[in-house]
Amino acid sequence: MLTECRPSTAESIALPGNGNLARQSFRLWHAALFGTICLAGLSVSAHAQSDTQTAGQSITPQEAARLRAEILKQQAQIKEQQRELRLQSLRLNDEQNLLDTELGKLRGTGTGTAANAPEPAATQTGTSAAQASAASAPEAAPITGPSPRKQEARRVLQTAQELSSTGGVLTPKGDLVVDPSFEYDYYNENQVNISGFTIIPGITFGNINVQRVQANYATTAMTFRYGVTNRLELNLRVPLVYATGSTTTQPLGPSAQVFSPGANAFSLGDVVVGGSYQINSGNNGWPILIGNLLFKTTTGTSPFSVPIYTTKDPNGIYIAGIEKKLPTGTGFYTLEPNMTILIPTSPAVLFANILYGVNFARGVRIANRGGGPSTPATIGPGNYLSGTFGVGFAVNNRTSMTFSYQQEHVWPATENGVGIAGSSFDFGTFNFGVGLTLTKNITLNIGAGIGVGPNSPVAKVLFEVPIRFRP
């Protein structure tokens, strides 16, 4: 007698809330598994009966062939059930992913009576389990998503000061971020100026001046970021610049006198407008690509519009060409297309940025060091290429840190279409930052940079307080 297989009706299975689709898939999976066990039991019973018959009486060749055929048939049925079980398992995984996605959308909206209503006690435990499962699953972009890992990645990346200026951390749809900031940059450079001629190496006739140029720039800015969609952001930065500096010059000689004229400035800097767009979703472990486009205006004071000392001024032979006032802008329009690459991992977030800056040539008037009329010229600052890479991580649920390095190459400038010799240069900057979450919508970011090379700032410090306004 073959053993009878019937499913137990006393067993009750609890599934996560919101799970009609998941319940159906689980029942199919349970039925397939139960069928496989039953067929296995039938096969064992058949073998047991055949062993009993063998022990009690001899089996004819016809009966042996019949039993063998039935065993093969049952094995084929078991294989078919196993194949169906695998298919049901795949369908269950797909439906569970769909359910997690729908739950994520519901958590992300957070509006409406149904979303704000208390959950029935019978389904609260199941929903919590589903949310925990979604939070531990591999993340998919956009980086503005509601899951804890995406929020953590966003919080970490906000600490990277180079991304805050070029783009890379998108604002969620409908949100407005007002970001007041304060940046301090310190420049220090030593120069040797020779006005004369050399007969043989080491013997120079004329004036030799040693100059030390120092400049301090304090920039207070208001940056506005608005999320048009979850993938598109528009931004505007309005800076106010205060600058002080001095140039100390000393001619070489036993009775040389030291001259140190100073200069300062306080005015609007160059306003920057731009946008960022997330290109891909970042699913299946792919990095997230964000395209950024920035356009810098010329609202600040141009270097070609500030007055300079001439040879007609007292001690002008030593200080001619030094600025009486400092500029607060570059004087040229600039377009900066760049690409940000983000790789959210656990516990770190890897990021990189590559930027190409285009400076547009324009007509200016170059002041005459001798005090005569200025000279018109078409000046084109060199274009530049910048690369940044770094890593950030969360120290705890409120604090995060980032470390990065930025390298930039500037091509030679031109005057009336002709390259200016010696105007090409390179420099780098080491950056590190700390972020602290003050409230749900307010964050404090502190960053610092150390210059590498004579053309970079010796040091810079940045304070930011992004404030998020939600609709």
Q: Are residues 419 and 286 in the same domain?
A: yes
* Residues 352 and 390: beta-carbon distance below 8 Å: yes
> Rounded to the nearest 5°, which phi and psi values hold at 281?
-85, -25
Is residue 88 predicted with pLDDT exceeding 90?
A: no
Q: Are residues 204 and 92 in the same domain?
A: no
- pLDDT attached to residue 37: 54
- pLDDT attached to residue 349: 85
Query: Could you tell me if residue 347 is inside a domain?
Result: yes
What is the token pair recorded at 352? 């990189």
Provide the whole-model pTM. 0.65
- pLDDT attached to residue 164: 63
Is residue 26 predicted with pLDDT exceeding 70?
A: no
d(CA 234, CA 122): 44
Query: Could you tell me if residue 101 is inside a domain?
Result: yes
- pLDDT attached to residue 155: 61
For residue 155, give the nearest of 471, 403, 392, 406 by alpha carbon: 392
Beta bridge partners of 461: 184, 448
Decide which of 454 and 255 is more confident: 454
DSSP calls for 241-298? EEEEEEEEEEESSTTPPPB--EEEEEEE---EEEEEEE-S--GGGPPEEEEEEEEE--
Q: Are residues 409 and 339 in the same domain?
A: yes
Say what angle helices 121-136 and 61-109 make with each other, to 10 degrees. Answer: 90
| Other C-beta atoms lying within 10 Å of the C-beta of residue 247 | 21
Categorize the per-residue pLDDT at 99 as very low, low, confident or very high, splitting at 50, 70 and 90.
low
Q: Are residues 30 and 174 in the same domain?
A: no
Q: How many CA atoms lie within 13 A of 38 on its CB side?
A: 13
- pLDDT attached to residue 291: 94
Decide which of 175 and 35 is more confident: 175
Decide which of 117 and 333 is more confident: 333
d(CA 103, CA 285): 22
What is the token pair recorded at 314? 């007292």
Average pLDDT of the residues in 73-94: 83
Cα 387 to chain centroid, rounded? 13
Residue located via tokens 């810079």: 460
* Residues 384 and 409: beta-carbon distance below 8 Å: yes
Decide which of 210 and 81 is more confident: 81
Query: Could you tell me if residue 348 is inside a domain?
Result: yes
Q: What is the pLDDT of residues 419-466, one digit of tens each?
A: 999 889 999 999 999 989 899 899 999 999 999 877 778 889 999 999
Is residue 107 predicted with pLDDT exceeding 70?
A: no
Q: Are residues 177 and 72 in the same domain?
A: no
Domain boundary among the residues 51, 85, 109 is at 109
Q: Which domain holds residue 81?
A: 20-109
Q: Are residues 328 and 228 in the same domain?
A: yes
Q: Are residues 168 and 267 in the same domain?
A: yes
Q: What is the pLDDT of residues 60-69, one digit of tens each?
A: 888 888 888 8
Terminal Cα distance for the chain, rounded: 72
Which ranges in 110-219 belong to alpha helices (H)? 113-116, 121-136, 148-157, 161-166
- pLDDT attached to residue 276: 93
Average pLDDT of the residues in 159-182: 79
Beta bridge partners of 203: 200
Query: Could you tell me if residue 121 is inside a domain?
Result: no
Q: Are residues 153 and 103 in the same domain?
A: no
Residue located via tokens 């950024």: 292
Decide which of 147 and 231 is more confident: 231
Q: Are residues 79 and 197 in the same domain?
A: no
Domain boundary among the residues 56, 81, 109 is at 109
Q: Are residues 321 and 389 in the same domain?
A: yes
Average pLDDT of the residues in 130-154: 45
Q: Are residues 234 and 326 in the same domain?
A: yes
For residue 252, give the nearest of 320, 162, 326, 192 by alpha carbon: 192
Categorize the per-residue pLDDT at 127 as very low, low, confident or very high, splitting at 50, 70 and 90.
very low
Query: Could you tell me if residue 136 is inside a domain?
Result: no
d(CA 381, CA 419): 10
Whole-angstrom CA distances from 463 to 159, 165, 352, 438 are 10, 13, 22, 14
Categorize the per-residue pLDDT at 222 as very low, low, confident or very high, splitting at 50, 70 and 90.
very high
d(CA 424, CA 93): 58
Categorize the per-residue pLDDT at 158 as very low, low, confident or very high, splitting at 50, 70 and 90.
low
The total number of structural domains in the chain stands at 2
| Other C-beta atoms lying within 10 Å of the C-beta of residue 398 | 12
- pLDDT attached to residue 382: 92
Q: Are residues 72 and 176 in the same domain?
A: no
Query: Domain containing 424 — which CATH number?
Result: 2.40.160.40
> Rounded to the nearest 5°, which phi and psi values hold at 80?
-65, -40
d(CA 190, CA 169): 38
Domain boundary among the residues 53, 88, 109 is at 109
For residue 323, give the nearest of 240, 263, 411 by alpha carbon: 263
| Other C-beta atoms lying within 10 Å of the C-beta of residue 130 | 23
The one-letter amino acid at 300:
G
Query: Could you tell me if residue 202 is inside a domain?
Result: yes
Q: What percent of the chain has pLDDT over 70?
A: 66
Q: What is the pLDDT of residues 321-350, one digit of tens each?
A: 889 999 999 999 999 999 999 887 877 888
Is residue 131 predicted with pLDDT exceeding 50?
A: no
